[in-house]
Copies of this chain bind each other. A is one copy, B any other.
Amino acid sequence: MKKERLFTPGPVQIPERVLKVLGEPIIHHRTPEFKEIFAYTRELFKRLVDSPSDNFVYFASSGTGAMEAAVANFFKPGEKVIVINAGKFGERWVQIANTYGLEIVELKYEWGKSVDIDQLKDSLDRNPDAKGVLFQISETSTGAYHDYKAIGELCKNRDTLVVADAITTLGVYNIKPQQEGIDILIGGSQKALMLPPGLSILWFSERAEKRLNPKGYYFDVKKEVKKQKDATTAYTPAVSLIIGLRESLEILLEEGMENVEKRHRIMSEATRKAVEELGFKVLPEKPAISVTAILSEFAEKLRKEMLTLGVRTAGGQDHLKGKLFRISHMGYLDMLDHFSAIGALELAMVKVLGKTDHLGKGIRAFQKAIVING
């Protein structure tokens, strides 16, 4: 018997309650029944981000689709944007902005670093014509956190849209875009929204609305938001994912986003304590609470052994391939689930490093971190 447990930063483990509705017979998307569900999920989403605004759309796409929609709909060719690039997904902003002919001021950081807020302030001061700051709140490839509240604060009195890739943030942090100065917020279903991949979300502020200038066809935010405010869609929606979203949003709201953030904070901090106790170094200086990136020259061997035991982790990407492994805290995971991941890592170390002294010590550090946090 072998179980496989997803500790990957998407897809993630899905609650039984969501799986149940995903397995139900499909309904047609142009029915009053679906319209009612669709409208209800929109009400739930407003509660999730604590904003009464109807300025948001679902797309049947991966998160990257919504990133493209942000660039294509809210910026014009030739406009200047500042891109915080400190990993694979920062790099993706650069690629998309290039595709749409924007002028890019790149704040490039070594992978694992977080944005230097003073440097960003300088850049904003030197580029008063910058129309946007594009960044990740949680850079999934490195597990680094970019302080979105500080960025929001910096841009509050400037004509600069704050464009946050929140794909591994939404459903983790108690993020309130309207209050925290975010203009465009992007989420994806297969992360902390605890759904299969295939649904993205794009939320935008009132001042972003004034800049709406759609390009392309499918990712037309103007057309789509008009339809969705009326509980329908321009094109065929991802029906079962919307129905699943109803459940996952309810689950998150029942726990309460403050508690959800607290849980992720404890699980990620305890995981860091555990792997540090086991002699590893965590890559980022300012770690996000969604995923922990752990450096090891034996990363791939450890991952393979952990998988044999029943725990699937993610590896490093691009130039960090083979140099780190990542344990996600997103999805349907609680404290006890993490014992599987840490316990499997300890057992994998026996095979890969040929030692046993460390056994139980990571778990102990994890437990102590939990006990301290009550």
Give the docked Cα–Cα distance between A335 and B340 (Å): 9
User: How many chain copies does the complex carry?
Assistant: 2
Chain A interface residue count: which class?
35 or more
Give the docked Cα–Cα distance between A262 and B359 (Å): 23
Q: Beyond A339-B339, A343-B339, is A2–B334 a contact (Cβ under 8 Å)? A: yes
Instruction: Tell me whether A139 is interfacial, beta carbon within 8 Å.
Output: no
Name A361's closest neighbour in chain B (CB-CB): B360
Residues of B within 8 Å of A263, CB to CB, are 1
Q: Are B340 and A367 in contact (CB under 8 A)?
A: no
Kindly provide the distance from the CB of A288 to the nearest chain B CB, expressed in whole angstroms.
Answer: 19
Kindly provide the distance from the CB of A268 to the nearest chain B CB, expressed in whole angstroms.
Answer: 15
Give the docked Cα–Cα distance between A251 and B339 (Å): 26
Q: Are A255 and B1 in contact (CB under 8 A)?
A: yes
Give the docked Cα–Cα distance between A371 and B344 (Å): 12
Residues 320-340 of A at the B interface (beta carbon under 8 Å): 332, 334-337, 339-340
Residues of B within 8 Å of A1, CB to CB, are 251, 255, 260, 263, 332, 334
Give the docked Cα–Cα distance between A310 and B338 (Å): 13
Residues of B within 8 Å of A332, CB to CB, are 1, 3
Give the docked Cα–Cα distance between A334 and B347 (Å): 14
Give the docked Cα–Cα distance between A326 and B254 (Å): 32
Kindly provide the distance from the CB of A311 to the nearest chain B CB, expressed in whole angstroms.
Answer: 7
Give the docked Cα–Cα distance between A79 and B144 (Å): 76
Give the docked Cα–Cα distance between A117 and B347 (Å): 40
Instruction: Tell me whether A356 is interfacial, beta carbon within 8 Å.
Output: yes
Instruction: Tell me whether A314 is interfacial, beta carbon within 8 Å.
Output: no
Give the docked Cα–Cα distance between A347 and B270 (Å): 14
Give the docked Cα–Cα distance between A171 and B325 (Å): 37
Kindly provide the distance from the CB of A343 to the nearest chain B CB, expressed in whole angstroms.
Answer: 4
Q: Beyond A1-B334, A251-B1, A334-B2, is A367–B339 a contact (Cβ under 8 Å)? A: no
Residues of B within 8 Å of A370, CB to CB, are 347
Residues of B within 8 Å of A301, CB to CB, are none
Instruction: Tell me whether A223 is interfacial, beta carbon within 8 Å.
Output: no
Which A residues fall within an 8 A CB radius of B? 1-3, 5, 20, 23, 251, 255, 260, 263, 309-311, 332, 334-337, 339-340, 343-344, 346-347, 350, 356, 359-365, 367-368, 370-371
Could you show 6 A-B contacts with beta carbons less than 8 Å apart?
A3-B336, A336-B340, A339-B343, A340-B340, A360-B361, A363-B364
The 4 closest A-B pairs by CB, nearest first: A360-B364, A339-B339, A339-B343, A360-B360
